[in-house]
């Protein structure tokens, strides 16, 4: 309803409700005086607004006290603004209180009184003066001059439409009579009597009418009082409404400020969200890229692992081949061992020969000593004596050789030990081969299992590969240990080889020395043979001389010469025998020396061959060692990577599982964040909608001017709308409550029918009772507030079922079990079904 | 006499030997203290939520907040039970930003249990080899590792003051373990491009706890 349509002027709000913060209101035309619209209020003068003029109708409508009689009708004081229609008056009071509907209603409810008063006031206004009832009586008494139409008394006027039709007729009749009587002046007496009678009648009627009027006044006054009270209440309500309106305006302002803030925040939030969305998109992109990279890396790792597995299998094959090679080497070494044993035996023989030689040398020395008897042979003997230490040295050297041979024996023993170790290693290698075969079989089985598995299943093959890698690592460690032991042995062998080489060098030097000594001995033998030849020639010469001497002695027969000759002959025979012996010994020594030389050469060859073989073995073992080192390094790298992964938290998904508590702080924080984000999004949506509304409407709904315009349009509409909303809300609430009650009832019925319990819920107290059970058999659970747990209140029934309380509530903390057990107990009692568990 | 002394020594060593239950309790206590210290030192929760408690020869910050305390106690209770069953392989404390879901740090406590090995060790110790660690030694070890954890704050990257981080505790269990209904499976929360910081190991005669922190390299 627009202001142009409404005939009533808009009511200005009370001055105390309008503040300086609403400039649009101050720009409106100045309000009319409030007394124009104020109704008289005698009941609650305090509730009257300041500045409002006291209504002039109060005096006219002041209710009479009980028992008090109004002596005369006081002329009603005229309100200067009484010409205003009654509807306005009711608007101010009732529109504020009850809205328009109420206003209309009150206007309809008081048609008689208001219409009567209106007409009276109209007549008074027209006449511009109100006649008192006394004056009317005076006019009646005067019976002249006064116009008939104007002869109505104020009381009659006041009676209005409430005066019944009979009195109206009488009044008309009297007026007609008056007019007739006024025209008939000659018969004054009769007329006067009639008139007096009529006057008495009229006065009686008047008194009656007065009484009626007074009654009517009382009624109207009562009505007015009620109206006033209503009006006062309406005024109070209007004041409240104005305060509410002010609050609404303030709320509007606050909301507008909030809206502004929210708009700015919304824009900022939108920007933030856009940024976040962009950031999330970027992150998503980067994550997808990273995932692609990871996938590629995983694939490449898988390929690498496959390659490594292949290389590992190749390495295994190589190891098997190496085992075979070692076997062959051992097979080759076995004859060497037998050869070494033979060499040992030869050495022993040589030792025996050397001992025999020593004995021979001793014999030779004795022979030399014997030869020394001869003066010439003495020189030789001396020379031989000189040579004896040389021979002794040679003997010593030979002894040393014998010691060397013993050392060789020791070496042979060590070689035998090493051969035994090789044999043990061979056994290990056999074991490893067996393990390899078993592992191959397992790998084949796993590969077949992996092939049989569907792609959706967990990739066990890789895990098995990883397991095998672990096993390989363990084996690698073992192999590393073996390699280390082998390296040690190789080192020992190399040392032995070096020792052997050194010994070979020594033996060579000894051989050279022995050759030199042999040459010396040969030269000596030549010298001796020369000497022997010389001695034999001398002997021959001596023989010749002897013969000649014999001949001469025979001739001369000198006994001294003969004795000398005999001595010389004996000496000669002795020396001859010695020389023969010496020659034999020399021949023997020469033969033994040649044998020794041959054995030495054989030994040298064997040593050379052994050293070559050892070198080859050493080279192979070093190569093997290097290969194993590389394998070890690779496996160490893998192990390092694996340990790093383990440190980073990687695990075997087939064996281990990562579990967390469902209600973790992370979960709570994420929920909180999501809730906050939801709220913010909702606010943002609302703000967006408001923003759109503002954009579409070209103005802001929370604008003060718009609010003021809406307010000026009339608070009644808002109130009506609010009332409608309130009614709707109340209806909805009632519907909800009835629905909730029905659902509660149905739920309780369901609980009673299906679970056997009557449940009564009262805030923090629940009372359970078995259906069809006595009223005192109840189970009561209580709690202090929502955060505290439910606690059982003890009563006779619970003490009777204390066993169940202890069993289910105290020990297991299972109320469902407790209730179920009680139901079972009752069932067993009612149906005689025996339960296993004890009954209290 | 010699045999009597040997028997007495054996009895004393057997008495000082730690059982699986005792070892699980010790490891659980260590984990509780370590997690509390980490939560305090890394500023996951405000300082008002912790109180100083003298333990292991140093002052350890224990959670005051009932909710946090009940959560930690719940996790530790189950962890101890599973340690008794030798079903736990690792406990991981993950510090996460709940908004961005970025994993800031990953504190891993790898638990290795070998009951047979422990028994062998005790037998060896009884037979004269290296003796099993006593309670005091284990407590000293735990104290030293806790001190290392406290000192590691100076090495680890600083967390921003406005960061609203939270945490989660992952338990690495055996695959066939029956977990309660309120426990659920989780991802391991790996950190890419991470760096590790290793702490000392704690050896009881039954368990070995290897502590390590993984953090994002800048």
Model confidence pLDDT, tens digit, residues A45-73 = 443 444 433 433 333 344 444 444 444 44
pLDDT given for residue B9 in this prediction = 52
* Residues 6+ positions from A298 with CB-CB distance below 8 Å: none
A286 contacts on B by Cβ (under 8 Å): none
pLDDT given for residue B168 in this prediction = 93
Q: Whole-angstrom Cα distance, residue B102 to residue B189?
A: 9
Instruction: Report yes or no: A61 and A203 within 8 Å, Cβ to Cβ.
Output: no
Work out the minimum CA distance from A789 to partner chain B, whole angstroms: 15
Inter-chain CB proximity B170 and A647 less than 8 Å: no
Which of A122-131, A257-266, A339-348, A498-507 comes out lowest in average pLDDT? A122-131
Work out the minimum CA distance from B2 to partner chain A, whole angstroms: 41
Instruction: Report yes or no: A795 and A778 within 8 Å, Cβ to Cβ.
Output: yes
Residue A211 burial by Cβ neighbours in a 10 Å radius (0-12, 13-18, 19+): exposed
Share of chain A above pLDDT 90, in %: 0
Residue B162 burial by Cβ neighbours in a 10 Å radius (0-12, 13-18, 19+): exposed
> What tokens does A314 get?
């190749």
Nearest residue of A to residue B167 by CA position? Answer: A666
Please give the average per-residue pLDDT across A651-664, as a whole number: 84
pLDDT given for residue B15 in this prediction = 55
pLDDT given for residue A27 in this prediction = 38
Q: Whole-angstrom Cα distance, residue A373 to residue A366?
A: 11
Q: Whole-angstrom Cα distance, residue A610 to residue A612?
A: 5
In the predicted structure, residue A99 carries a pLDDT above the cut 60: no
A668 contacts on B by Cβ (under 8 Å): 166
Instruction: Report yes or no: A32 and A51 within 8 Å, Cβ to Cβ.
Output: no
pLDDT given for residue A826 in this prediction = 85
Inter-chain CB proximity A673 and B98 less than 8 Å: yes
Which of A562-576, A720-734, A789-803, B77-91 comes out lowest in average pLDDT? A562-576
Please give the average per-residue pLDDT across A248-254, as a whole number: 84
pLDDT given for residue A645 in this prediction = 76
| The dihedral formed by the CA atoms of A572, A575, A580 and A583, expressed in degrees to the nearest 10 | -140
pLDDT given for residue B179 in this prediction = 85
Model confidence pLDDT, tens digit, residues B165-197 = 899 999 999 877 888 888 888 888 888 888 889
Task: Name the pLDDT band for A192 (thresholds 50, 70, 90).
Answer: confident
- Reported as type and span, the H/E element at residue A613 is helix A559-648
In the predicted structure, residue A286 carries a pLDDT above the cut 60: yes
Work out the minimum CA distance from A815 to partner chain B, whole angstroms: 18
Inter-chain CB proximity A647 and B108 less than 8 Å: yes
Of A651, A661, A669, the CB nearest to B182: A661
> How many angstroms separate the Cα of A752 from the Cα of each of A587, A760, A808?
135, 11, 22
Inter-chain CB proximity B173 and A649 less than 8 Å: no
In the predicted structure, residue A201 carries a pLDDT above the cut 90: no
Model confidence pLDDT, tens digit, residues B4-60 = 555 555 555 555 567 888 888 999 999 999 999 999 988 899 888 999 999 988 899
Higher pLDDT, A109 or A511: A511
Please give the average per-residue pLDDT across A381-399, as a whole number: 81
B94 contacts on A by Cβ (under 8 Å): 666
Which residues of chain B approach chain A closer than 8 Å at the C-beta?
A: 68, 71, 74-75, 89-90, 92, 94, 96, 98-99, 106, 108, 110, 164, 166-175, 177, 179, 182-192, 194, 196, 198, 212, 214
In the predicted structure, residue A474 carries a pLDDT above the cut 70: yes
Q: Sheet holding A757-762: strands in order across? A: A757-762, A765-770, A778-782, A791-793
Higher pLDDT, A43 or A719: A719
Model confidence pLDDT, tens digit, residues A136-164 = 444 444 444 444 444 444 444 444 444 44
Q: Whole-angstrom Cα distance, residue A486 to residue A492?
A: 9
Inter-chain CB proximity B99 and A673 less than 8 Å: yes
Q: Sheet holding B166-174: strands in order across? A: B183-185, A656-661, B166-174, B88-96, B103-113, B207-216, B194-203
Q: What is the DSSP letter of B32?
A: H
Phi-psi region of A652 (alpha: psi -120 to 50; beta: other; left: phi over 0): beta
In the predicted structure, residue A43 carries a pLDDT above the cut 70: no
Task: Name the pLDDT band for B92 (thresholds 50, 70, 90).
Answer: very high
In the predicted structure, residue A521 carries a pLDDT above the cut 80: no
A673 contacts on B by Cβ (under 8 Å): 98-99
A647 contacts on B by Cβ (under 8 Å): 108, 196, 198, 212, 214
In the predicted structure, residue A112 carries a pLDDT above the cut 50: no
Please give the average per-residue pLDDT across A234-245, as a whole number: 84
Any idea how long chain B is?
218
Choose, out of A644, A647, A668, the residue to mutate when testing the contact with B (most B CBs < 10 Å): A647
Q: What is the DSSP letter of A160?
A: G
Q: Whole-angstrom Cα distance, residue B166 to residue B103?
A: 10
Inter-chain CB proximity B194 and A659 less than 8 Å: no
> What tokens does A146 get?
């006064």
Q: Is A768 helix (H, G, I), strand (E, B) or coil?
A: strand
Task: Name the pLDDT band for A308 (thresholds 50, 70, 90).
Answer: confident
Of B71, B99, B194, the CB nearest to A661: B71
Instruction: Report yes or no: A473 and A635 within 8 Å, Cβ to Cβ.
Output: yes
> What tokens does A760 get?
């009564």
CA atoms within 13 A on the CB side of A519: 5
Inter-chain CB proximity A660 and B98 less than 8 Å: no
- For chains A and B, what is the number of CB pairs under 8 angstroms? 100
In the predicted structure, residue A555 carries a pLDDT above the cut 70: no
Inter-chain CB proximity A673 and B177 less than 8 Å: no
Higher pLDDT, A702 or A725: A725
Inter-chain CB proximity A664 and B172 less than 8 Å: no
pLDDT given for residue B119 in this prediction = 56
Closest CA to A394 of A249, A529, A593: A593
Instruction: Report yes or no: A797 and A777 within 8 Å, Cβ to Cβ.
Output: yes
Taken in order A344, A346, A349, A354, the sign of the CA dihedral is negative
Higher pLDDT, A84 or A669: A669
Inter-chain CB proximity A666 and B167 less than 8 Å: yes
Which of A374-383, A799-808, B130-139 comes out lowest in average pLDDT? A374-383
Instruction: Report yes or no: B84 and B20 within 8 Å, Cβ to Cβ.
Output: yes
Model confidence pLDDT, tens digit, residues B115-171 = 655 555 555 555 555 677 888 889 999 999 999 999 998 888 887 766 788 999 999
Share of chain A above pLDDT 70, in %: 69
B174 contacts on A by Cβ (under 8 Å): 655-657
Task: Please give, one letter per residue, the 3-state secondary structure of A436-466.
Answer: HHHHHHHHHHHHHHHHHCCCCCCCHHHHHHH
Nearest residue of A to residue B92 by CA position? Answer: A649
Of A649, A651, A666, the CB nearest to B168: A666
Residue that the structure tokens 């000496």 belong to: A571
> How many angstroms separate the Cα of A486 from the Cα of each of A11, A335, A414, A433, A493?
117, 22, 15, 18, 10
Taken in order A517, A522, A525, A527, the sign of the CA dihedral is negative
Instruction: Report yes or no: B167 and A665 within 8 Å, Cβ to Cβ.
Output: yes
Inter-chain CB proximity B98 and A666 less than 8 Å: yes
Work out the minimum CA distance from B200 to partner chain A, whole angstroms: 14
* Residues 6+ positions from A337 with CB-CB distance below 8 Å: A415, A416, A419
Please give the average per-residue pLDDT across A700-729, as a whole number: 68
Of B94, B171, B194, the CB nearest to A659: B171
* Residues 6+ positions from A46 with CB-CB distance below 8 Å: none
Number of helices (H), then strands (E), belonging to chain A: the values are 18, 5
* Mean pLDDT of all residues belonging to chain A: 72
In the predicted structure, residue A165 carries a pLDDT above the cut 50: no
* Residues 6+ positions from A539 with CB-CB distance below 8 Å: A572, A575, A576
Inter-chain CB proximity B175 and A656 less than 8 Å: yes
Neighbours of A404 (CB within 10 A): 18
In the predicted structure, residue A459 carries a pLDDT above the cut 70: no
Instruction: Report yes or no: B30 and B142 within 8 Å, Cβ to Cβ.
Output: yes
Which of A90-104, A184-198, A314-328, A369-383 comes out lowest in average pLDDT? A90-104
Model confidence pLDDT, tens digit, residues A413-437 = 888 888 888 888 888 888 888 888 8
Taken in order A567, A570, A575, A576, the sign of the CA dihedral is positive
Per 3-state DSSP, what percentage of chain B is helix, strand, and coil (rounded to 5)? 40, 30, 30
B182 contacts on A by Cβ (under 8 Å): 661-663
Which residues of chain A approach chain B closer than 8 Å at the C-beta?
A: 290, 644, 646-651, 653-670, 673
pLDDT given for residue A307 in this prediction = 84
Task: Name the pLDDT band for B94 (thresholds 50, 70, 90).
Answer: very high
Q: Is A184 helix (H, G, I), strand (E, B) or coil?
A: coil
Number of helices (H), then strands (E), belonging to chain B: the values are 5, 8
Choose, out of B104, B165, B169, B199, the residue to mutate when testing the contact with A (most A CBs < 10 Å): B169
B189 contacts on A by Cβ (under 8 Å): 649
Q: Is B186 helix (H, G, I), strand (E, B) or coil?
A: coil
Task: Name the pLDDT band for A552 (thresholds 50, 70, 90).
Answer: low
Which of A174-183, A358-367, A823-832 comes out lowest in average pLDDT? A174-183
Residue that the structure tokens 């969200």 belong to: A273
Higher pLDDT, A114 or A604: A604
Closest CA to B209 of B104, B133, B153: B133
In the predicted structure, residue A359 carries a pLDDT above the cut 80: yes
Task: Name the pLDDT band for A698 (thresholds 50, 70, 90).
Answer: low
Inter-chain CB proximity B184 and A665 less than 8 Å: no
A669 contacts on B by Cβ (under 8 Å): 98, 164, 166
Q: Mean pLDDT: which of A125-129, A221-225, A707-711 is highest? A: A221-225
Instruction: Report yes or no: A31 and A18 within 8 Å, Cβ to Cβ.
Output: no
Please give the average per-residue pLDDT across A445-461, as a whole number: 59
Per 3-state DSSP, what percentage of chain A is helix, strand, and coil (rounded to 5)? 80, 5, 20
Instruction: Report yes or no: A76 and A131 within 8 Å, Cβ to Cβ.
Output: no
Q: What is the ipTM of this complex?
A: 0.83
pLDDT given for residue A443 in this prediction = 75
Task: Name the pLDDT band for B75 (thresholds 50, 70, 90).
Answer: very high
Inter-chain CB proximity A662 and B183 less than 8 Å: yes
Residue A95 burial by Cβ neighbours in a 10 Å radius (0-12, 13-18, 19+): buried
A78 phi/psi in degrees, rounded to 5 = -90, 130
Neighbours of A672 (CB within 10 A): 13
Instruction: Report yes or no: A654 and A463 within 8 Å, Cβ to Cβ.
Output: yes
Which of A17-21, A322-326, A590-594, A768-772 comes out lowest in average pLDDT? A17-21
A658 contacts on B by Cβ (under 8 Å): 92, 170-173, 185-188
Residue that the structure tokens 């998904």 belong to: A653
């Amino acid at each position: 309803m627009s202001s142009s349509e409404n005939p009533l002027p808009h009511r200005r709000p009370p001055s105390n409700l309008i503040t300086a913060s609403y400039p649009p209101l101050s720009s409106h035309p100045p309000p009319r005086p409030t007394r124009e619209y104020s109704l008289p209020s005698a009941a609650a003068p305090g509730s009257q607004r300041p500045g409002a003029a006291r209504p002039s109708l109060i005096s006219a409508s002041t209710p009479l006290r009980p028992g008090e009689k109004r002596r005369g009708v006081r002329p009603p004081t005229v309100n200067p603004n009484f010409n205003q229609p009654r509807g306005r008056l009711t608007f101010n009071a009732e529109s504020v209180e009850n809205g328009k509907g109420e206003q209309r209603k009150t206007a309809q409810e008081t048609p008689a009184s208001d219409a009567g008063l209106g007409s009276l006031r109209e007549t008074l206004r027209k006449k511009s003066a109100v006649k008192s009832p006394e004056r009317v009586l005076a006019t009646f008494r005067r019976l002249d001059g006064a116009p008939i139409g104007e002869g109505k008394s104020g009381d009659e006027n006041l009676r209005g439409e409430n005066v019944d039709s009979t009195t109206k007729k009488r009044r008309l009749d009297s007026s007609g009579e008056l007019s007739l009587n006024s025209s008939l002046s000659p018969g004054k007496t009769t007329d006067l009597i009639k008139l007096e009678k009529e006057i008495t009648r009229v006065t009686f009627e008047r008194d009656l009418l007065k009484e009626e009027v007074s009654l009517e006044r009382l009624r109207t006054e009562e009505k007015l009082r009620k109206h006033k009270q209503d009006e006062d209440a309406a005024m109070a309500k209007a004041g409240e409404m104005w305060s509410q309106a002010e609050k609404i305006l303030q709320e509007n302002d606050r909301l507008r400020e909030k809206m502004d803030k929210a708009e700015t925040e919304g824009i900022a939030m939108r920007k933030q969200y856009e940024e976040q969305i962009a950031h999330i998109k970027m992150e998503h992109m980067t994550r997808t890229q990273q995932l692609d990279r990871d996938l590629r890396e995983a694939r490449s790792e898988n390929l690498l692992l496959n390659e490594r597995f292949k290389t590992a299998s190749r390495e295994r094959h190589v190891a098997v081949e190496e085992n075979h090679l070692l076997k062959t080497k051992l097979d080759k070494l076995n004859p060497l061992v037998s050869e070494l044993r033979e060499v040992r035996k030869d050495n022993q023989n040589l030792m025996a020969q050397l001992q025999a030689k020593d004995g021979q040398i001793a014999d030779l020395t004795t022979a030399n000593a014997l030869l020394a008897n001869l003066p010439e042979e003495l020189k030789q003997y001396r020379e031989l004596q000189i040579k004896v230490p040389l021979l002794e040295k040679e003997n010593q050297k030979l002894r040393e050789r014998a010691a060397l041979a013993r050392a060789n024996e020791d070496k042979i023993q060590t070689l035998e030990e090493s051969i035994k170790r090789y044999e043990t290693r061979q056994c290990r290698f056999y074991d490893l081969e067996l393990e390899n075969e078993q592992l191959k079989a397992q790998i084949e089985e796993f590969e077949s299992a992996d092939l049989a598995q569907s792609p959706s299943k967990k990739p066990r093959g890789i895990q098995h590969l990883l397991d095998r890698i672990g096993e390989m690592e363990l084996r690698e460690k073992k192999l590393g240990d073996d390699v280390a032991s082998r390296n040690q042995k190789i080192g020992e062998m190399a040392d032995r080889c070096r020792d052997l080489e050194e010994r070979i060098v020594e033996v060579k030097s000894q051989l050279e020395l022995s050759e030199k000594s042999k040459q010396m001995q040969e030269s000596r033998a030549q010298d001796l043979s020369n000497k022997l030849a010389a001695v034999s020639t001398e002997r021959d010469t001596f023989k010749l001389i002897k013969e000649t001497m014999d001949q001469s002695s025979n001739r001369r027969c000198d006994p001294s010469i003969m004795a000398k000759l005999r001595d010389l002959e004996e000496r000669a025979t002795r020396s001859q025998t010695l020389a023969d012996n010496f020659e034999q010994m020399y021949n023997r020594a020469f033969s033994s020396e040649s044998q020794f030389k041959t054995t030495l050469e054989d030994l040298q060859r064997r040593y050379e061959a052994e050293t070559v073989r050892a070198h080859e073995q050493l080279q192979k073992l070093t190569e093997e060692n290097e290969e194993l080192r590389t394998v070890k390094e690779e496996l160490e790298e893998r192990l390092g990577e694996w340990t790093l992964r383990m440190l980073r938290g990687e695990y075997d998904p087939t064996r281990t599982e990562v579990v967390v508590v469902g209600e973790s702080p992370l979960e709570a924080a994420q929920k909180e964040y999501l809730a906050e984000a939801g709220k913010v999004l909702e606010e943002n949506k609302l703000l967006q909608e408001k923003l759109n509304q503002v954009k579409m409407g070209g103005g802001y709904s929370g604008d003060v001017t718009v609010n003021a315009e809406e307010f000026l349009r009339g608070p009644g509409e808002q109130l009506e709308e609010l009332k409608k909303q309130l009614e709707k809300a109340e209806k909805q609430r009632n519907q909800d409550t009835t629905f909730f009650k029905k659902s509660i009832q149905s739920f309780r019925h369901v609980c009673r029918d299906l679970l056997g319990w009557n449940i009564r819920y009262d805030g923090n107290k629940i009372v359970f009772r078995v259906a069809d059970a006595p009223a005192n058999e109840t189970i009561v659970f209580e709690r202090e507030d929502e955060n505290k747990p439910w606690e059982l209140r003890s009563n006779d029934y619970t003490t009777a079922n204390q066993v169940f309380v202890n069993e289910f509530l105290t020990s297991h903390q299972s109320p469902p079990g407790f209730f179920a057990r009680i139901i079972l107990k009752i069932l067993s009692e009612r149906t005689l079904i025996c339960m296993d568990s004890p009954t209290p | 006499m010699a045999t009597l002394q040997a028997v007495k020594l054996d009895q004393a060593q057997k008495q000082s030997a730690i059982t699986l239950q005792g070892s699980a309790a010790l490891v659980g206590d260590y984990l509780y203290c370590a997690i509390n210290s980490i939560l305090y030192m890394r500023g996951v929760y405000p300082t008002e939520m912790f109180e100083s408690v003298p333990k292991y020869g140093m002052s350890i910050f224990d959670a005051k907040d009932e909710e946090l305390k009940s959560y930690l106690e719940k996790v530790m209770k189950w962890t101890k039970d599973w340690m008794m069953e030798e079903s736990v392989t690792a406990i991981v404390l993950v510090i996460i930003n709940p908004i961005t879901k970025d994993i800031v740090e990953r504190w891993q406590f790898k638990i290795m249990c070998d009951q047979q090995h422990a028994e062998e060790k005790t037998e060896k110790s009884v037979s004269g080899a290296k003796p099993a660690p006593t309670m005091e030694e284990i407590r000293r070890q735990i104290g030293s590792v806790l001190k290392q954890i406290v000192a590691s704050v100076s090495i680890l990257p600083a967390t921003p003051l406005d960061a609203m981080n939270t945490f989660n505790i992952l338990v690495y269990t055996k695959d066939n373990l029956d977990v309660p209904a309120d426990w659920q499976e989780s991802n391991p929360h790996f950190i890419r491009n991470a760096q590790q910081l290793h702490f000392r190991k704690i050896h009881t005669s039954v368990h070995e706890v290897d502590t390590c922190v993984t953090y994002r390299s800048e």
